[in-house]
Chain A
C-alpha cells in the first residue's frame, strides 16, 4: 500500500512520515513517491492530514519521524535550500491585499533569486497563461476570489518549479473557474514535465489517468489510478470508492 520507488529518481519522495499534534496522531508512517510530468491526487476528507503533510513537505513543520526528499535532496539534512524546486499554492490565500498583482509577484521573484528583467518577463508570461495579463497593476484587494487564485497559481509557477504542491486550490471557486483551473494545471504537468501533488476532497478534480492516493485519518488507505480503485472497492464510480475507503468520514 505504501510502497515507494527509489527516492533519488522521484521528484518528491516521502518515507514513513509520522507527525503528532501533542498526543493526537495526524500522520501515521505515510510514504509516497511523486514522479515528474504526472498529476498525483491526494484525496482525503477534511482532517485526513493533507494540510499537515503539505506543511511538512514545504518546511513549515519539521518531521518528527520519517524523511522527505525533494528532487533527491533530503529536506532535514539539506535545510531550506532543498525547497528550491517547490512551487506551492496554499489553501488559504497568501497574497498581500494592499499591494498590486505586479508588486506581489515581483516580491516572490526576488525571494526566489530572479533578476528584475527576468522576473517581469516571467510574470507577463504566467499571467497571460491564466488570462490575468491585464490586471498587473490592480491591487489584489480589488480582485475576486477566482482571480486571486489564478494569481497565486501563476506565482507558484514563476520560478519554473519541478514540483507543484496544490493544497485544495479550487476551494471557494465557482464551477466554470474550477473546471478551467483543473484543465490548465493538468495540461501544465504534461507540457512542462512538472510533478503535481494536488490535495483535494473533491472527486470531480480527478482525471482518469491521474495517480490517486487516498489519505484517511493520517494513513494511506489506497492508491492507484481511478480504475484500479474501482476494481479494489467494487464501486461504480470514484465517489463510491472514496466512500468505501473512508467510511467513518462519510458517516460523520
Chain B
C-alpha cells in the first residue's frame, strides 16, 4: 500500500482536468469565441461611442479594442472558473467528487489542486486568445506577454476560488443557471472590463464605487498593468486577499463536519 504523495495527487488532478478539457473541444472554442465576439463586434460599435482618456498604465491614447483586452482575458477566466464550478457540482451529483474527498490528503490541498488545475486550463485559453488578438492587429505589447502570466495565475485563482465557493453552496445542477444572473453578469458588467471607473462615475457614483471595489475589477487591473510590465499594488493585494477569503470560505464549506448540513455527502 502506497502512502499519499501530494505531488502525484496534484499531477493526477491536473491530468484529469486537462483530459476533460480535451474531451470537450467545443468548450475550448466557446471560450475563445465569446471574447472574440466582444473584441471584433462589440468593440467596433463601442469605439465610436466611448472616448478614452489617458489613464495608467497607458501613456498615450489607445483604441477601445486595446482597452478591453485585459477585461476579455478576465472574462475568459471568469467563465472558466464558473465552468470548473459547474463541473464540480456535476461531480458532486454524479458521485465522482467522493473519490477525491476520500483521498488521504488534507481537504484544503485537494481543493487547491483542483483550483490550480482549472487555472492551468484557463491560462491556455487566455494565451490562445492573445495570439489571435495579435493576429487581428490589436496593439498588444509583446514584451508584456511574460509578466502577464503571474497576473493571469493570480486572477484565475481568485475567480476559481469564487467558483469553488459557489460549488460548495449550490446543491443541484439546475440551480446553476441562477449563478449566471446573480454572479457572472453583475461581476463582469460592474467591473472595469468594458469601461474605466471614471466613465461609470459620470453615470452613477454608487455604481462607480461598486465597480472600483469589485474583486474582479482588481483582477483585471492587475492583468492590465502586468501587460505593460507594471505592478498595480492595490490590485495585487485586493486580488490575492479576496482570492484567499474565497478559498478559505470554500475550504470551510467543504469541511466534513459541515457537509451533511448542505444535504449531500460529497
Contact = CB atoms under 8 A, between A and B. Distances in A.
A99 B24 CA distance: 11
Given A60-B256, A113-B9, A98 B99 contact: no
B265 A80 contact: no
Interface stretch (A100-108, A126-134, A239-247): A100-108
Interface stretch (B70-78, B103-111, B156-164): B103-111
A142 to B, nearest CB: 14
Given A60-B266, A92-B95, A84 B4 contact: yes
Contact of B11 (A90, A103, A110, A162): A110
B105 A80 contact: yes
DSSP class of A's interface residues: helix, strand, loop or mixed? loop
Interface stretch (B15-23, B31-39, B127-135, B186-194): B15-23
A83 interface: yes
B46 interface: no
B8 to A, nearest CB: 5
B45 interface: no
Given A96-B16, A112-B4, A161-B1, A80 B98 contact: no
B197 to A, nearest CB: 42
B104 to A, nearest CB: 4
A201 interface: no
Given A110-B11, A111-B12, A112-B2, A95 B102 contact: no
Interface residues of B, number: 36
A50 interface: no
Contact of B8 (A21, A79, A95, A114): A114
Contact of B102 (A60, A110, A160): A60
Contacts of A118: 2
A146 interface: no
Nearest to B260: A61
Interface residues on A, range: 35 or more
Contact of A94 (B20, B98, B104): B98
B9 A111 contact: yes
Given A59-B102, A61-B260, A80-B106, A103 B2 contact: no
A119 to B, nearest CB: 9
B79 to A, nearest CB: 20
A252 interface: no
A103 B12 CA distance: 10
Contacts, number: 115
Contacts of B96: 94-96
B94 A94 contact: yes
A132 to B, nearest CB: 18
A88 B102 contact: yes
Nearest to A99: B19
B265 A103 contact: no
A96 B101 CA distance: 15
Contacts of B255: 62
Interface string B231-266: 000000000000000000000000111011000011
Nearest to B107: A80
Contacts of B259: 60-61
Contacts of B4: 81, 84, 111-113
B101 A99 contact: no
B265 A60 contact: yes
B23 to A, nearest CB: 5
A58 interface: yes
A222 interface: no
A166 B62 CA distance: 63
A77 B104 CA distance: 13
B20 A99 contact: yes
Q: Name, among A81, A94, A161, the residue most crowded by chain B CB atoms within 10 Å (CB to CB).
A: A94
Contact of B12 (A21, A110, A161): A110
A196 B103 CA distance: 19
Interface of A: 21, 51, 55, 58-62, 79-86, 88, 90, 92-99, 103, 106-115, 118, 159-162
23 contacts: A21-B260, A59-B102, A61-B260, A81-B105, A83-B103, A84-B4, A88-B98, A90-B98, A92-B94, A92-B98, A94-B99, A95-B96, A97-B94, A98-B20, A106-B15, A107-B12, A107-B99, A110-B9, A110-B15, A111-B99, A113-B3, A113-B4, A161-B1
Interface of B: 1-5, 8-9, 11-13, 15-16, 19-20, 23-24, 94-96, 98-107, 255-257, 259-260, 265-266
Given A110-B11, A111-B100, 10 more contacts: A51-B265, A60-B102, A60-B266, A61-B257, A61-B260, A84-B4, A84-B104, A94-B98, A99-B19, A110-B13
Closest 5 CB pairs of A and B: A110-B12, A113-B5, A62-B257, A92-B95, A84-B104
